[in-house]
């Protein structure tokens, strides 16, 4: 029982490159979330998915797209990376209104 897993753990991109961050959970939870964590800014919600087949924007969605592939997987795509997207990306899941469980994070640097 791995909980929430994220790949890759680290990534360096050049400005303009694209990539997809992967998140998977084996907790059978309906809701999944993507956050970014920046020094001095705390965690901010990028996108969330209340259930399979639905996605909604959070506080800072610009520059990102998401896909809820199935109940287990929720991916985050950067189509054209910018230095402002250098951050730690955290994925989480919850059973709806209850505790959120977080993955270990992806540390992304955009040069």
Partner 1 sequence: KQEVTQIPAALSVPEGENLVLNCSFTDSAIYNLQWFRQDPGKGLTSLLLIQSSQREQTSGRLNASLDKSSGRSTLYIAASQPGDSATYLCAVTSDRGSTLGRLYFGRGTQLTVWP
Tokens of 12: 């360096």
Any idea which residue has 């209340």 for tokens? 50
In angstroms, give the least distance from the CB of 105 to partner 1: 5
**Which CB, 23 or 110, lies closer to partner 1?**
23
**Which CB, 48 or 64, lies closer to partner 1?**
48
In angstroms, give the least distance from the CB of 71 to partner 1: 17
**Which CB, 81 or 92, lies closer to partner 1?**
92
Footprint of partner 1 on this chain (CB under 8 A)? Answer: 4, 31, 33, 40-45, 48, 50, 58, 90, 92, 94, 96-105, 107
Task: Give CA–CA dist 49/34, Å, rounded.
Answer: 9
Compute the radius of gyration of the chain from its Cα atoms: 13
C-alpha 52 chain-centroid distance: 15
In angstroms, give the least distance from the CB of 16 to partner 1: 28
In angstroms, give the least distance from the CB of 66 to partner 1: 15
Any idea which residue has 């020094």 for tokens? 39
**Which CB, 2 or 14, lies closer to partner 1?**
2
For 8-32, the three-class secondary structure string (H helix, E strand, C coil) is CCEEEECCCCCEEEEEEECCCCCEE
């Amino acid at each position: 029982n791995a909980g929430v897993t994220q790949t890759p753990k680290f990534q360096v991109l050049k400005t303009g490159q694209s990539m997809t961050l992967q998140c998977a959970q084996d907790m059978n939870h309906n809701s999944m979330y993507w956050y970014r964590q920046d020094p001095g800014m705390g965690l901010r919600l990028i996108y969330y998915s209340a259930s399979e087949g639905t996605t909604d924007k959070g506080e800072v969605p610009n520059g990102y797209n998401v896909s809820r592939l199935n109940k287990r997987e929720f991916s985050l795509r950067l189509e054209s990376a910018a230095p402002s997207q250098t951050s730690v990306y955290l994925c989480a899941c919850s059973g709806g209104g209850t505790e959120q469980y977080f993955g270990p994070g992806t540390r992304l640097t955009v040069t």
